[in-house]
Amino acid sequence: MVSKKMIFIGFLTLLILTGCNSMTTVFRGTPNITGYVMDKNDEAILVVSTEPEDFSQSGGNERFFDAVWASNAPDNVAIGEEVSIWFEGGVNQSYPAQAAIGELNTLSSPTPGGADLSEAEALNKALTQEEFEDDILTLQSISYDNDEDEWTVVLEDTNSYEEHTLQVEDN
């Protein structure tokens, strides 16, 4: 028969092992959003997807771009970078949505041959050289012209679908 002492020791061991367990969350599967950091403030980053979803069958927009103000962003994340984010906790379903970052991965940003800036740096320069007020923009295209030594950045307003084409010097 098992004594009370053995039950107590077993319970105590289980309690100690549970207390030593790391509470690290591992995020797996598809990110909640992948897109470009289009704005940043002291508390969050605005990430907007580049691939539209079609909700016209249910009475919604034909070209809807996911957008989220994501809090808990690392300080080193810059406007113009492409990121994948997994959310932690609930999501406020406003537009743009609001959520806390559980995990953030920065995707690589190529620098074309002959260019000084990477794509992320060129997008950063385009977004910070113009005033867009409260527009929520998505990146439509970005290209480098080696002969002109400049970038062409095409942005689209996610509400009005108005396009903005910006030229950015590569320096």
Torsion of CA 52, 27, 73, 133, to 10 degrees: 10
- Supply the pTM of this predicted model: 0.83
CATH architecture designation of domain 33-169 = Beta Barrel (2.40)
Bridge partners of residue 150, in order along the sequence: 145, 169
Burial 154-167 (b: 16+ CB within 10 A, else e): ebbebeeeeeeebe
Bridge partners of residue 98, in order along the sequence: 69, 92
Query: For the chain, what is the radius of gyration of the CA atoms?
Result: 23
- pLDDT tens digit string along 46-77? 999 999 999 999 999 999 999 999 999 999 99
Closest to 75 measured CA to CA, from 47, 44, 35: 44
Question: Which of 9-23, 32-46, 58-72 shows the lowest per-residue confidence on average (mean pLDDT)?
Answer: 9-23
Cβ pair 69, 46 in contact under 8 A: yes
Categorize the per-residue pLDDT at 155 as very low, low, confident or very high, splitting at 50, 70 and 90: very high
- Please give the full DSSP string across 40-51, using - where no structure is assigned: E-SSEEEEE-SS
What was the pLDDT predicted at 14? Answer: 43
